[in-house]
Amino acid sequence: MSVITYSKAINQALAEEMERDENVILYGQDVAVWGGIFKVTEGLRDRFGPERVFDSPISENVMVGAGVGAAMMGLRPVVELQFADFIFTAGDEVFLKAGMWRFMHGGAYKVPLVIRAPSGGSGFGPEHSACPEAFIMHAPGLLCAVPSTPADAKGLLKEAIRLDNPVVYFEHKLLYAMRGEVPDGEYTTPFGKAVVRREGDALTIVAWQDMLRRTLAAANRLSKDGIEVEVIDPRTLNPFDRETIIESVKKTGACMVVEEAYRTLGVGAEIGALLLEHALPYLDKPFKRLAIPDVPLPTSQHLVNFIVPSEEDIYKAVKELVA
Amino acid sequence: MNPKLMLDIFKTSLLARRFEARVIQMAMAGELPGSLHAGAGQEVCQIAAITAMNKDDYILYGHRGVAYMIARGTSLTAILADIAGKEGATSRGKGGVMHVVDVPHGILGESGTLGGGFVISVGVGMALKRRYPGRVVTYFFGDGTSNRGTFHESLNWAAVQKLPCIYFCENNGYAVSVPTSTSTAVPDISARAAGYGVPGVVVDGNDAAAVYEVMQKAVERARAGHGPTLIEAKVTRLFGHYIADQQTYRPDAATVIATKDPLPKLQQTLVNAGVLNDTLLAQLEADAQRQIEEAVATVKAAPLLAPETALQDLYA
C-alpha cells in the first residue's frame, strides 16, 4: 500500500493504461502541455507524446463526438471535459451519440470511450459546480462511475478504460487533494459493486464522493451518541448495485440518501422508488433525502453552504430520523 | 474521364433510382413504412463521389436516399430489411433506413440529429491517422446541415490536426422547406472553407465527371496528410423532403423534375461517348429490375424482427 492523492491516483491510472494499451489516447482542453487546469494529467504528454496526449480546441461537441468516432474505429479515447457541467454543452454527443450510436446501428461496433468529468465543489458558480450524475444514470447506454477514494479513483478509471462501453467518470473537485491508501501493483475495481464503508444497524445512508466524506464524519459523531449508521458507497451508478442497498435496509429498516445534486428526480428518488418496489415491508421509518433544493449552485461560498448538505445537516437529520 | 467508370456510375445510379421508386410505390401501397427521404436527383453526384474513394475508405452520410449504400456494395435486401424492420436489417430495427450500417463496406452510419456526423467524422479521422494511415473518411451532408455548430467545430478541428476527412456538401437549395437564401448568409457553402484554411470547391453536382475529379483531388490531399477539403456540389432534389411532402413551398417542383434530372443527362453523355446504346440500356434496366424484385421477394418472406430485439445491442 502507498498513500497518494485522489488526483495522483487518476494520473497513475491513466499512465498505467496508456502504457498497457497503445490505443488509449487522452485529450481535452489544457490537458497536455499544462497538465490540466486541476493538474491531474501532468507529465503524461511528456511521457506518451503529443500524438497520444493533446490539447483540444474549445469544442465540446467534437471532444465527445470525436471520442465516439475514434472509439468505433478501435481507439480507446479518454476525453476530459473541463467541468462536468459541460456534459450539457455536448448534450447531443454525450446522450445521443455516446449513449445511443451503437444501439441505433444495431450493435455494429463498440464504443470504448471514457469521459472524465470534474464535478462538484464550490465557488465556481452555476455552470461549473454541478454533480450531474443523475442525468447520466437516467440515460440509457452510459455507464457511470463516482469514485470516492483514491483507491477507487484509480481502480474504477482503469476498469472504465478497459470496458467496451462508454463511461462517464465523475471526479469530484473537492476530493482531488484527498489522500488515501492505494494497493501496490496491478488492480482494477469492478463496476456494479457497492461497498459498505461503515457498518451499523440504526439506519442505512447511501452517499458518494464529497457527500460520503461528510456522511462518514457525521457518522463518527453519531457513534459517540450511541447511534451506529450503515454507510453505503455505490461506487458506480450504472451499473447500480441495488442488492447491497436492499440487503442493508432489510437489516436497518430505514434509509437516507445524501446527494450533492438537485432533489427532484435525483439518484435519491431512484433509490426511494427502488425501496418502495423491493423493500417496503422492511421500512419502519420514512425514506429520507438530503439534497440541494431545486436551485442552481450559486458562486458565493456562504450561499453554497446554505443549500449543500453539510456534516451538521446529516448529523441532525439522522438524529431526527432515529429519535 | 474513363468511360468505363462513367458507365459504372450510371449503372449504379439507375439501380438506386429504380430501387427507390419501387420502395416509394410499396410505401404508397402500405406495404412498407414510408419514412424514406427520396434521394432522386442526387444519386449521380453521391455515387460519382464514392467512386473516387477506395473500398477500404469510410463514409458517414446524410439522410437523402440509399445510393450511398448501394454504391458501397450493401445488398438491396439488407437495405429493404432495414426499411421493413425484418430479419436481415443492418441496424436490427433500431435505426431503420436512416441508419443503415455496414462496417465491412465502410459505411459507419448516420446521425439522427442533422450534422451529428461531423463530430463522428473527426474521431474516425483521428483513428484512421493513427491506426490506418492512408485511408480517408467522407461525410456527406446537406446545405441545411452546414448551419449546425458542429460544422464549425469539426472543420476547424479536422483542419488544425490535418485529419484525413472530406466534407462533401450536397447543396440542393432547400433545408426541408426553407430555401438556402432564407437560412444561409452566403450563397456558396464552400466559401466557409476560408475560415478553416482548407480548400473550398464548388462543383456542378449534376456533372458526374466533374464531381469525380474534384473528389479525387480531395481524397489525394487527405491521403497525403494535408487535411480536409470542403466540396460543395450544387445538386437537384427532384422530389419532396419525404415521400408524402406536397412541396407547397416549391412552385417550380414540376419543372425541376422535367428539366434538371442528371440521370438522362449522364445517359446522353454515355450514348454520345459510344459506351451506351439501347440494347445495353435495356439490359441494365432488366438487371436492375431483377435485383430489385429478388430483394423484394426475399424481404417479403423474411420474418419480422423479434420484439425482444428492442432490448438488445445497447451495451457491448
Are residues A56 and A163 both part of a single domain?
yes
Same domain, A169 and A20: yes
* Whether residue A265 sits in one domain with residue A173: no
Evaluate whether residue B313 is within a structural domain. Answer: no
Q: Where are the beta strands (DSSP E) in B35-116?
A: 58-60
A314/A282 same-domain check: yes
Given pLDDT bands bounded at 50, 70 and 90, which one contains residue B142? very high
The CATH number of residue A113's host domain is 3.40.50.970
> Which domain covers residue A284, as residue numbers?
195-322
Amino acid A220: pLDDT: 98
Pairing mode, if any, of strands A24-28 and A53-55? parallel
pLDDT of residue A116: 98
Bridge pairing between strands A229-233 and A203-206: parallel
In this prediction the ipTM stands at 0.96
For residue A12, give every residue at least 6 positions away whose Cβ sits within 8 Å of its Cβ, in sequence order, or none. A4, A154, A182
Determine which of A134-143, A147-156, A212-221, B170-179 has the lowest per-residue pLDDT on average. Answer: B170-179
pLDDT in tens, A285-313: 999 999 999 999 999 999 999 999 999 99
Residue A224 belongs to a domain: yes
Closest A-chain CA to B90:
A106
Share above pLDDT 70 across residues of chain B, in percent, rounded to a whole number: 100
Q: Say whether both A11 and A44 belong to one domain.
A: yes
pLDDT at position A235: 98
In the A/B pair of chains, how many CB contacts fall below 8 A? 142
pLDDT band at A137 (very low <50, low <70, confident <90, very high): very high
Interface residues from chain A to B (CB-CB < 8 Å): 23, 25, 51, 56-57, 59, 61-62, 64-75, 77, 92-93, 96-97, 101-112, 140-141, 164-165
CATH classification at residue B205: 3.40.50.970
A190 inside domain = no
Per-residue pLDDT at A122: 75
Nearest CA to A196 out of A280, A252, A143, A239 is that of: A252
Rounded mean pLDDT of B40-68? 95
Strand order of the β-sheet with A236-238 is A53-55, A24-28, A76-80, A114-119, A167-172, A143-145, A236-238
For residue B48, what are the domain limits?
3-308
Q: Give the pLDDT mean for B238-248.
A: 84
Distance CA(B192)–CA(B194), nearest Å, equals 5
Mean pLDDT within A125-150 = 97
Q: How many domains does chain A have?
A: 2
Give the DSSP H/E element, type plus range, for residue B167: strand B165-171
Domain assignment present for residue A92? The answer is yes
Torsion of CA B44, B45, B51, B54, to 10 degrees: -140
Pair A54, A172 in one domain = yes
**Residue B51 pLDDT greater than 80, yes or no:** yes
Calculate what percentage of chain A has a pLDDT beyond 70. 100
Cis-peptide, bond into residue A239, ω within 30° of zero: yes
Given this model, what pLDDT does residue A292 score?
Answer: 97
Question: How confident is the model over A19-32, as pLDDT tens digits?
Answer: 999 999 999 999 99
Last residue of a domain, one of A182, A212, A229: A182
Average pLDDT in the A43-53 region? 98
Residue A102 has pLDDT above 80, yes or no: yes
* Least CB–CB distance from B316: residue in A59, A65, A165: A165
Q: Using CA atoms, how far apart are residues B79 and B89, in angstroms rounded to an integer? A: 7
Residues A45 and A174 in one domain: yes
Give the minimum alpha-carbon distance from B93 to chain A in angstroms, rounded to a whole number: 7
Domain annotation covers residue B314: no
Residue A187 resides in a domain: no
Asked if pLDDT for residue B35 goes beyond 80, the answer is no
- List CB contacts (< 8 A) between A110 and chain B: 316
| Within-domain flag for A188 | no
- A96, A245: one domain: no
Q: If residue B140 lies in a helix (H) or strand (E), which one and from where to where?
A: strand B137-142
Answer yes or no: is B182 within a domain. Answer: yes
Residue A105 burial (C-beta neighbours within 10 Å; 0-12, 13-18, 19+): buried
* A210 and A312 fall within a common domain: yes
Taking only the tens place, the pLDDT of each residue in A144-157 is 999 999 999 999 99
pLDDT mean across residues, chain B: 95
Q: Are A251 and A218 in contact (CB under 8 A)?
A: no
Q: How far is CA B57 from the centre of its chain?
A: 15
| Nine-digit cell string for A243 | 442488492
- Kindly state whether residues A159 and A229 are assigned to the same domain: no
Q: Looking at residue A28, what is its pLDDT?
A: 98
CB B174 within 8 A of CB B142: no
CA-CA distance, A103 to B98, in Å (whole number)? Answer: 13
pLDDT grade for A265, boundaries at 50, 70 and 90: very high
Question: Are both A310 and A161 inside the same structural domain?
Answer: no
**Position B200: which residue type?**
G
Cell for B294? 429478388
| Residue of A128, A172, A278, A302 marked active site | A128
Number of domains in chain B: 1
Share the mean pLDDT of chain A: 97
Task: Please give the grid coordinates belonging to residue B119.
Answer: 463530430
A172 and A237 belong to one structural domain: no
